[in-house]
Amino acid sequence: MRSRSFVVPAVVAVSLAVGGAVPVSAGSAPHAGPGVCSPSAALLGFSDALDKTQVEGTAVAGLSALGLVRSGRALALVDNIGTTPARLVHLSVRPGHGGPAVSATGVTTLRRPDGTPYTGADFDGEGLVIERGGRSVLASSEVEPSIRRFRLDDGRQVAELPVPARLRMAPDGRAARNQTFEALAASRDGRTVYAGMEGPLAGDGDGMVRIVRYEGRPGGAYRPVAQYAYRTDPGLGLVELVVADGGLLALERGFTAGVGNTVRVHRVGIRGARDVSEVESLRDVPQAALPKEPLVDLADCPPSGATAKQPQPNPLLDNVEGMALGPGRVLYLVSDDNAGPAQTTRLYALVIR
């Protein structure tokens, strides 16, 4: 564990100044100032204010993806919580001196084209992109997998993106159950969308996963134009992507019973990357894996007063699945409690260099 002494860099001071002295929501853990996690990241704080709460009579649970609508507003996508309706949770999020202030403000149910709700039985929401203009979202589901467009005003599905055949679930494709489109990200102009598989296809080899690049326009049609190879750290899966600085940030996560979670974020280069769309097995092209370098391992952050409901290498850790990059280079992470008593819905705020 690194020392908790930390001189606040200029970028941290700027991000706090932008957010202002916002009080921490009820339920947030009290702790002091930012702490060093790595040479490139510092923890601004965290909040457990959403944990085991409700909004509009619906549990705030299973948050698997996070997107920032605009300053102070965000959306979180719920995964397959039993047979409850698939949904987005509307959030109010503000940075603060003691950690992010967050509360749930509403719910949008995600519906089929005929208006009936998707449920946890046929929709496992894992990736989220808020399209430019804020009138629609793209949401990925691990079931098929799929990437669907939903209107925000009524939650109704209005389109679906094509998925390359080999990435579909077996027997139609080579994907394993619960190892498909976990990550979803878009470029700032919305013309490029990246969809990342959590685990490898049959025959691709341990830790070698595929990222699909789509090209199109927000609110319009997209088509897959390339696939890239990405190698995860041993035992981890790719659970989220963010477009940043001409490359990607990749969130990897794993869990070991009796030990706890591993949560790491890497910088990933994509310039000049090889298209592996026609490569039958990624075992044959190990050199094609995208270059990556560590940004932060959450276990190296100061615990900052966090408590864990099950064994963890650091009580700050939980089942982190969502990630979004906000103004001031503030990186938000959110954990998925799987609607269970042993896990916590926790929002983290880090500043990255």
pLDDT at 133: 85
Please count the residues of the chain: 353
What would the DSSP string read from start to end of 145-200? TEEEEEETTT-BEEEE----GGGSBTTTSSBPTT-SEEEEEE-TTSSEEEEEESSP
**What pTM did the predictor assign?**
0.90
- Cα distances (angstroms) measured from residue 112 to each of 82, 116, 151, 227, 348: 18, 5, 11, 28, 32
**Spatial CA neighbour of 177 closest among 140, 124, 248:** 124
| 313 vs 306: CA distance, rounded Å | 12
Contact 249, 331 (CB under 8 A): yes
> And the tokens for 145?
């997998």
| 170 vs 168: CA distance, rounded Å | 6
| 141 vs 248: CA distance, rounded Å | 21
Contact 39, 29 (CB under 8 A): no
- Cα distances (angstroms) measured from residue 196 to each of 76, 116, 252: 18, 28, 11
pLDDT at 144: 93
Contact 139, 77 (CB under 8 A): yes
**Spatial CA neighbour of 13 closest among 261, 329, 346, 316:** 329
- Domains belonging to the chain, first-starting first, are 10-352 (2.115.10)
**Spatial CA neighbour of 315 closest among 307, 327, 326, 323:** 307
Q: How many other CB atoms are there within 10 angstroms of residue 93's CB atom?
A: 27
| 59 vs 64: CA distance, rounded Å | 14
Average confidence (pLDDT) per 10 residues, the chain, 353 residues = 30 32 32 76 96 97 95 94 95 85 97 97 96 94 96 97 96 95 97 98 96 97 98 98 96 98 98 97 98 98 97 98 95 97 97 92
Query: Phi and psi dihedrals of 300, rounded to 5?
Result: -90, 0
> And the tokens for 172?
């139609």
| 303 vs 318: CA distance, rounded Å | 12
Q: Partners of 130 in the beta sheet?
A: 137
Which amino acid does the sequence have at 8?
A: V
β-pairing verdict for 181-186 and 192-197: antiparallel
Contact 329, 19 (CB under 8 A): no
Query: Phi and psi dihedrals of 100, rounded to 5?
Result: -70, 140
**Spatial CA neighbour of 103 closest among 326, 351, 345:** 345
